[in-house]
Structure 1
Amino acid sequence: MVLLVIYLFFVILAGRDCLVAGDSCSSDETCSPRLRTLRQCVAGNGSMKLGPGARSQCANAVSALLSSPLHGCQCKRGMKKEKNCLSIYWSLHQSIIHGLNLVESYPYETVQRDYDYVRLASITADSDVGMTTVNRCLDAAKACNVDDLCQKLRTEYVSACIKPTAKSGLCNRPKCNKALRRFFDRVPADYTHELLFCPCTDTACAERRRQTIVPSCSYESVEKPNCITQMRICNADYVCRSRLAQFQYDCEPSKTSANGCKQGNFGACLLAYTGLIGSTITPNYVDNSTSSVAPWCSCSASGSRREECDNFLGYFTDNICLRNALMTFGSESDQQPTPSQYSTTSHGSGENRSTTSPPETVETMRNFLDTIMPTQVCSFLIKARVHYSRFTWPYIQE
């Protein structure tokens, strides 16, 4: 009986997998032609190429597929063949872009575990012996170092993000971002959230926290690109579009919600936020003097789309849900703040995103690397002869 229940459980889960649903539809003589029609409808304004009655054909295909296994199917963040899974999901759900009435949220399965107020109960056996104060950022680094998966993937992305290419002398941004996505997708949020959202009370700590995702390689450029351009690039990529959809759903603000989040889950919001790291619209702390976050882009030259651009940027810079989630996680207390303690004021505009002074950046980046794997990272830097971007390493010698 128990085995039967387990079997049925996995059958139900498989039925919600878009890869399984896509295979099922493709092998069905009724479902397959409708899926092909729908893909024509959503591929580069393909409905225009279907000739007279195209809209009707598209609408009929959507209606028929709503009763197929494709409707309600989802993907897992970081899964194998994630892009293929998402392409199947968006074949059906992208039809909303062409004016067809289809309600959607985002393509990823809901994470059952609630990461609100997750704390690492014990970092190391003697982490609190003889200590009068708690440094959660340092403890988070220690915790990652003693966890095999966290240590391995963190060392991998740092190495990928600071190693210059032989041809240009610059870092390999695609490789860096791929390694970052791998880290945040595969390492439990217990570790990643503590590393990224730990509270800081001084600029040195805040700068080390800002350097967690190696901004000089993962997203920074001489000039900020326009947010509209970044959004267009993101929407053309199945993974980025899906991560953004998840973020906008889980971090949707609400003035009537007690905690400022329409979905009411801080943990889900922070998990969705980390899902954007390594994408075209990677968000990060704007400086080392506040806890404000934003993607590296500007709305200054948005023209007639300025309002759309401001709304996008405001999801990071003026979002009560995200702000309260960050504030609550960074609280020294594990207790949820009362509604009166939640922030109700707005962040400053993302246009004011500043950079830090090179001397402090050099020192804090060195300190940041020291917390990862001192011996291995130093060995790596010696071999690579790293002299990357504005960072220098004056104390590293053979």
Structure 2
Amino acid sequence: MGHPQIPRPPASVLLLLLLLPPPLGAGDSLPTESRLMNSCIQAKRKCRANPTCKAAYHHLGSCASTLSTPSPSEESSVSADCLEAARQLRNSSLIGCTCHPRMKNHTTCLEIYWTVHPARSLGDYELDVSPYEDSVTAKPWKMNLSKLKMLKPDSDLCLKFTTLCTLNGKCDRLRKAYGVACSGSRCQRHVCLAQLRSFFEKADPPHAQGLLLCPCAPTDRSCGERRRNTIAPRCALPAEPPNCLELQSLCRADPLCRSRLMDFQTHCHPLDILGTCATEQSKCLQAYLGLIGTTMTPNFISNFNTSVALSCTCRGSGNLQEECEQLERSFSHNSCLMKAIAAKMRFHSQLFSQDWEDPTFSVMEHEIENLALRIQTTVAFLFSCTLTPILLQRLW
């Protein structure tokens, strides 16, 4: 008598289980450096254990003012000692280290990354790349939309998401903190930006994204104004728009802002004239939200549409006019960013067009669909690896 065959789950389900990262626990909202594949903080510890690496890193730190991805014509002006220190680090663990936006000692990690950055690019003249590890958190969205029954059916969606935030203790606390810091005649811009950044870093993504990316009817001025004022434009943005290149220089001088800008350029960069995007929409959106609260904070340009822009101008750019306009267009005419914002707004609109017997199911389903798209891009890599015969038999 043969053994009964045990039903085997579809291969797609097995792939999902294999590729799904372990969910963060309730006490793990801030990833520790040990969760990263190669944290810059860990890499620096390894470097300090090697006398040659330690000396090269220390010397490279003193070269920061003169060594910053020079062009071929400028490389000769960099001291030989700085060039040698950069070359010695190119074979160390520091060269591929990364950080995480929510990790502890985040600023320290970024400072290490940018100290080593000249060693990564020296001689190659590559474009800057994001310092952040390309990781995905598998926590499902949890939002009790049934609470919205207390609102009028015709209430605009920005008001509904504002109400959801108010009903959530964490979101309400963080929103009030930046509301207080960003209001009043004595508002200090750096304090306002810090609180605004804290909101988008710490609030649960459904609430933060819902507040900023809520869809409004083109004629609904109050809805659009509520959405635009999420970034408190009167205080978070400069009173007089500076030159965009000056704004970019200020950003590059700050490790955090520079990192967020590089992350945005990495994940929201159209690859060709057809608008093919470098990465998936969720990563572009996350990178865009990461800029909020920095010197390069973008915002909606009006209460009537979803176009975003930096608060700067290209007037007075001289012979750098074209470079300035290119920077400006990377926000205002960025097809990847526009598609990501439009997709998220469509999803938010769909949330409120359903019967919410189970108010969290469809939100989790949406995230699984996004994960399935990510799996498609990694299946080729998975099957290029060596799998055990048993696993291959189960998959096929």
How has the CA–CA distance of structure 1 residues 46 and 11 changed in structure 2, closer, same or farther, with 3 Å as cutoff? Answer: closer
Q: Aligned residue for 1:33?
A: 55
1:66 aligns with 2:82: no
Q: Which residue of 1 aligns with 2:308?
A: 293
Partner of residue 131, structure 2? 107
Residue identity opposite 1:88 in structure 2: I
1:171 aligns with one of 187, 196, 205: 187
SS of the residue corresponding to residue 309 of structure 2 reads: strand
**Matching residue of 2:236:** 218
**Match for residue 206 of structure 2?**
190
Quote the residue 1:229 is aligned against. 246
Name structure 1 gaps, 5 residues minimum. Answer: 1-5, 165-169, 337-398
Corresponding position of 1:269 = 284
**Residues 69 and 125 of structure 2 are in contact (CA less than 8 Å); yes or no, is this contact kept in structure 1?**
no
The letter for the 1-side match of 2:226 is R
Name the CA distance, whole Å, in 2 between partners of 1:269 and 1:47: 25
For the residues of structure 2 that align with 1:232 and 1:209, how far apart are their CA atoms? 29
| Correspondence for 1:19 among 17, 27, 41 | 41
Equivalent residue, structure 1, for 2:197: 181
User: Aligned pair in 2 of structure 1 residues 101, 59: CA closer, same or farther (>3 Å)?
Assistant: farther
Which amino acid counterpart does residue 219 of structure 1 have in structure 2? L
Q: Which amino acid aligns with 1:171?
A: C
Distance in 2, Cα, partners of 1:71 & 1:238: 17
For 1:370, the equivalent position in structure 2 comes to none
Count of residues paired in the alignment: 316
AA matched with 1:216: R
Task: Write the mapping of 1:249-398 to structure 2, written as runs, cut at 5 A.
Answer: 249-255=266-272, 260-263=276-279, 265-331=280-346, 332-333=349-350
Superposed CA deviations along residues 135-188 of structure 1, whole A, max 9, x for unmatched, are 432221122122222111111010111144xxxxx3111111110111111112
Aligned pair in 2 of structure 1 residues 19, 242: CA closer, same or farther (>3 Å)?
same
Which runs of no fewer than 5 residues in structure 2 stay unpaired? 1-21, 23-30, 352-365, 368-396
Conserved in 1, the CA contact under 8 Å of 2:157 and 2:223? no
Tell me the residue number matched to 1:346. Answer: none
Q: Summarize deviations over 1:189-235 as a string: whole Å, max 9, x none.
A: 211111101101111100111111111000130x3111111111111
Name the aligned partner's letter for residue 64 of structure 1. Q
Contact 2:87 2:119 in 1 (8 A): no
CA gap of 1:58–1:220, structure 2 versus 1, over 3 A, is closer
One-letter code aligned to 2:263: Q
| Distance across 1 between alignment mates of 2:256 and 2:115 | 14
Q: Compared with structure 1, are the counterparts of its residues 46 and 187 closer, same or farther at alpha carbon in structure 2 (3 Å cutoff)?
A: closer
> Structure 1 pair 225/97, CA: closer, same or farther in 2 (3 Å)?
farther
One-letter code aligned to 1:89: Y
Residues of 2 paired with 1:53 and 1:269: CA distance?
A: 37
Q: When the two structures are superposed, what TM-score results if normalisation uses the length of structure 2?
A: 0.71
Aligned amino acid, residue 211 of structure 1: N
CA contact (8 A) 1:225 1:298 kept: yes
Quote the RMSD (CA, aligned, Å).
3.3
SS at match of 1:110: coil
For each residue in 1:266-322, what CA deviation from the matched residue of structure 2 results, as whole angstroms up to 9, or x when unmatched?
111111111111111110011112211111000011111111111111111111100
SS at match of 1:294: strand
Shift, 1:109, TM fit: 2.1
TM-score normalised by the chain length of structure 1: 0.71
**For the Cα contact (< 8 Å) 2:67–2:78, is it kept in 1?**
no
Deviation at 1:58, TM superposition (A): 4.2
Q: Distance in 2 between matches of 1:216 and 1:102?
A: 38
Amino acid at match of 2:175: R
Kindly tell me: are residues 44 and 82 of structure 1, through their superposed partners in 2, closer, same or farther at Cα, counting changes over 3 Å? farther
1:199 aligns with 2:215: yes
- Check if 1:243 corresponds to 2:260: yes
Q: Quick one: structure 1 residues 186 and 232, their matched pair in 2 at CA, closer, same or farther if it must change by over 3 Å?
A: same
- Is the Cα contact below 8 Å between 1:47 and 1:54 reproduced in 2? no
Shift of 1:67: 2.6
Q: Secondary structure at the match of 1:150?
A: helix
Farther off after superposition, 87-96 or 319-328: 87-96
Question: In structure 1, what is the Cα distance between the partners aligned to 2:314 and 2:320?
Answer: 9
Corresponding letter in the other structure for 2:172: Q
What is the one-letter code of the residue matched to 2:343? T
Distance in structure 1 (CA, Å) of the matches to 2:172 and 2:60: 44
CA contact (8 A) 1:75 1:82 kept: yes
